[in-house]
Amino acid sequence: MNLPESRKADKGFTLVELMIVITVIAILATIGVMSFTRVQKQARDTKRKGDLRALATALQAYYTEKTAYPATLGLLVPDYIPNVPPPPAGASQAVYTYNTDSASKYALCAVMETQDPATLIWKVSTLNPGGYVTADAACGIE
């Protein structure tokens, strides 16, 4: 049975239909990649906060025993913490900053990826061991 000529042309997708489908897929893929990147940054920031809290706990244990804070974080290993945790990979400014007056105060800082990296950091200190967001780029001791 032969189909009329007009019916033969309806057996497939037109170029316009294919272009619309490809465009929709590209938009969905872009949204997915952007969401995934944001989630990765949040996960690295969460790791930074946890690392600073773990270091703060080790610093408090060191201070309790020695009545002073160590000059460097390396002095906490292995008695107070197994190792100084490295900052998570993938960050442009992957560094933990530690400052102390060695007597009674310290400050630990990390640049957050989900904040404006030029102005805001996460800081854990003697006065606030839970941590907070600040613009103290020098990570000064309070």
Tens-of-pLDDT digits for all 142 residues of the chain? 555 555 555 678 899 999 999 999 999 998 888 888 889 888 998 999 999 999 999 999 999 999 999 999 999 999 999 999 988 876 556 678 999 997 889 999 998 888 766 678 899 999 998 899 998 888 998 8
Tokens of 134: 């600040």
pLDDT score for 8: 56
pLDDT score for 3: 55
Q: Where are the domains of the chain?
A: 13-134
Give the residues across from 107 on adjacent strands.
99, 125
Integer Cα distance of 47 and 85 in angstroms: 10
Integer Cα distance of 100 and 42 in angstroms: 28
pLDDT score for 63: 95
Contacts 24+ apart (CB under 8 A), 99-104: 99/139, 99/140, 99/141, 100/69, 100/70, 100/71, 100/141, 101/69, 101/141, 102/68, 102/69, 102/70, 102/71, 103/68, 103/69, 104/68, 104/69
pTM of the model: 0.76
pLDDT score for 114: 81
At residue 11, what is the residue type? K
pLDDT score for 112: 85
